[in-house]
Amino acid sequence: MPSTAFLAPLTNTRLVRRAADAVLLRYAHHRTRALDRMDAGRVQHATLMKLVRKARDTRFGRDHDFSRISSVADYQARVGVRDYEWFWNTYWKDAYPRLDNVTWPGQIPYYALSSGTTSGATKYIPVSWEMVRSNKKAGFTTTALFRHAHPAAKLFTGKFFFLGGTTDLRKQADGSLAGDLSGIAAKELLEFLRPYTFPPADLTLITNWEEKVQRFAQLSANEPITALSGVPAWMYVLFARLKEVTGKKSVAEVWPDLRLVVHGGTKFDPYRDLFKKEIGSDLVKFCEVYPCSEGFIATEDPRYNLLRIVPDHDIFFEFVPMSEFDSHGTLKAFPTRHTLANVEVGVQYAVVLTSCAGVWSYLVGDTVAFERRDPPLIRFTGRTKYFLSAFGEHLISEEVEKAVTHAATVCGVSALNFHVGPVFPSQPGKPGHHLYLIEFADAAPDAGRYAAEIDAELTRINEDYGPHRVGDLAMLVPEVRVVKRGGFDEWMKARGKYGGQNKVPRMDNSGAMTKDLAAWFAEHGWAG
């Protein structure tokens, strides 16, 4: 890509910043009007045909007869819905790290590391140059929709604070780089935009999260921050550190020009009131984004307070009804596949992506429900399988079950039943934790030791869990509470769910069921 470094010195002046903000506002109105006029179904058809033409000479394109595809129906007849394990084992594993003309033309320059797969701790998701541009376009669209709805919120007069992963990416054997998607985005930031962003490049290289957040708080306190983006759990930790180093009572006292907080990666509802209290200003607006390592899916349109799918950035979307999954989250052999042209409002769908980085009808594992078809507005509703990610830790049921089993083996006991969910902080600046309610077959082990073993195993097997536990910044060590033998059975009986196909819910990402369950055990004498 051509260098834009020569523009950087010109951008860091008050006059240019005001001009940049005016240009952004004009772009915001233009982009929003273009989206409003867009026929999402037609744009998506054109997007798929473009991707198919581009990849027809790849190994995947030849295997699936791309040269004969001229419609969505043709494509769906030739390409089935697959997941990461299928792509990894069938196309990527043998060639990795040099994926050259395998599922996407050319050599893949980046790999986004993402945990959450049942086959191991980490997924390696290809990120092509086209995907880098796609993510940039999605980022500009997010900003445009916000500015269109809030024209008085001047963002370029200050700096955008990106609270993301390290840019200290791992160099692979072929010269490609692997790391956190936010780190890849920071590395690929246009040079002329760097004066408008924080942190500086040297800080983004820090890999120790405890040190990183502390440095961020110290150095950003004197910066004119107008927008902040990140995972809620880490932003919440940052707020506490920011107040500690400045002695201020609210974030708004430190950053009086803050107008926008962009959040994603985890459920925001438990944080909303906490954020409002911590920030201390009604001028600050919240904006949800829905990115994933495989591609940017949606961004909040403030006019509707809902996520809006962006149809024109080289990603083709399909949606499979959740009714076509079994109770374990496994998809049936030949599922019904909808597009933006024929989805139904109110139906729970699994999200399937085809992207400009070489994933084709790829099952992401997320579920959404449409609130409107035109424009395409959605709500994120969860995962196709159990998950736990209240603080951005991205745990799946297999990982949690493995950790519970590992702890039982080490402690010499057997766990009959368990349930786990988050306990959210009750005081500003305090981290939350996971609460495990466990029923053992015989004598219960030391709860503290058992919790420590779960913690250690999850740190070992999950890419995202460990960084959230560093220094107890975003999450405390798990808490284990013993349930007396028979407690879960009695609870199921009380709910009328005992026997048959009914099972104890293993995980609850909202924390509501966990709280109720713990209270029920205590009230009815089943707490150990």
Q: How far apart, in Å, do the first and last CA atoms of the chain sit?
A: 62
| H/E run at residue 231 | none
Phi-psi category of residue 26: left, alpha or beta, with phi > 0 → left and psi -120 to 50 → alpha: alpha
Q: Residue type at 478?
A: P
What is residue 9's three-state secondary structure? Answer: helix
Residues 6 or more apart from 500 whose CB is under 8 A from it? Answer: none
Closest among 311, 294, 367, 301 to 123, alpha carbons compared = 294
Task: Give the separation between CA 340 and CA 316, rounded to whole angstroms.
Answer: 9
The domains of the chain, with CATH numbers, are 5-39+130-301 (no CATH), 387-523 (3.30.300)
Q: Does the bond joining 97 to the residue before it have cis omega, within 30 degrees of 0?
A: yes
Tokens of residue 416, six digits: 């009959």
Helix segments in 421-501, DSSP class H: 447-461, 465-469, 487-494
Whole-angstrom distance, CA of residue 276 vs CA of residue 302: 17
285-292 and 395-396 strand pairing? unpaired
pLDDT string in tens for the chain (528-residue length):
444 454 455 566 777 778 888 888 999 999 999 999 999 999 999 999 999 999 999 999 999 999 999 999 999 999 999 999 999 999 999 999 999 999 999 999 999 988 653 334 579 999 999 999 999 999 999 999 999 999 999 898 899 999 987 888 999 988 999 998 888 998 898 887 888 999 998 888 887 777 888 999 999 999 999 999 998 878 888 998 999 999 999 999 999 999 999 998 776 876 788 899 899 999 999 999 999 999 999 999 999 999 999 999 999 999 999 889 875 568 998 999 999 999 999 998 999 999 999 999 999 988 889 999 999 999 987 778 767 888 988 887 678 888 998 999 999 988 888 999 999 988 877 899 999 999 998 889 999 999 999 999 999 999 889 988 988 888 999 999 999 988 988 898 888 765 433 567 888 888 999 999 999 999 999 998
Mind giving me the DSSP string for 187-254?
HT--GGGGGGEES-HHHHT---HHHHHHHHHHHHTTS-EEEEEE-HHHHHHHHHHHHHHH--SSHHHH
**Tokens encoding 57:** 């000479």
| DSSP single-letter state for residue 157 | T
Q: What are the structure tokens assigned to 213, written together?
A: 């957040």
pLDDT digits (tens, 9 = 90+) for 214-232: 999 999 999 999 999 998 8
Residue 255 CA neighbour count, 13 Å, CB half: 30
Question: What pLDDT does residue 115 have?
Answer: 62
Burial of residue 396 (number of CB atoms within 10 Å: 0-12, 13-18, 19+) = buried
Tokens in use for 250?
């609210």
Q: Which of 29, 165, 210, 175 is nearest to 99 (CA)?
A: 175
- Distance from C-alpha of 237 to C-alpha of 516, rounded to nearest angstrom: 27
Three-class SS state of 150: coil
Stated as kind and residue range, the H or E segment containing 197 is strand 197-198
Looking at residue 144, its pLDDT comes to 96
Letter for the amino acid at 191?
E
Using DSSP's 3-state secondary structure scheme, residue 487 falls into helix
Give me the pLDDT at residue 118, please. Answer: 34
What are the residues whose beta carbons fall under 8 Å from the beta carbon of 57, sequence distance 6 or more? 101, 105
Containing H/E element for 299? strand 295-301
CB 315 within 8 A of CB 296: yes
| Residues contacting 141, CB < 8 A, separation 6+ | 31, 35, 299, 310, 313
pLDDT for 120 equals 41
Counting every residue written for the chain, the total comes to 528
Residue in the block written with tokens 């089935």: 80
CA pair distance 491, 291, nearest whole angstrom: 38
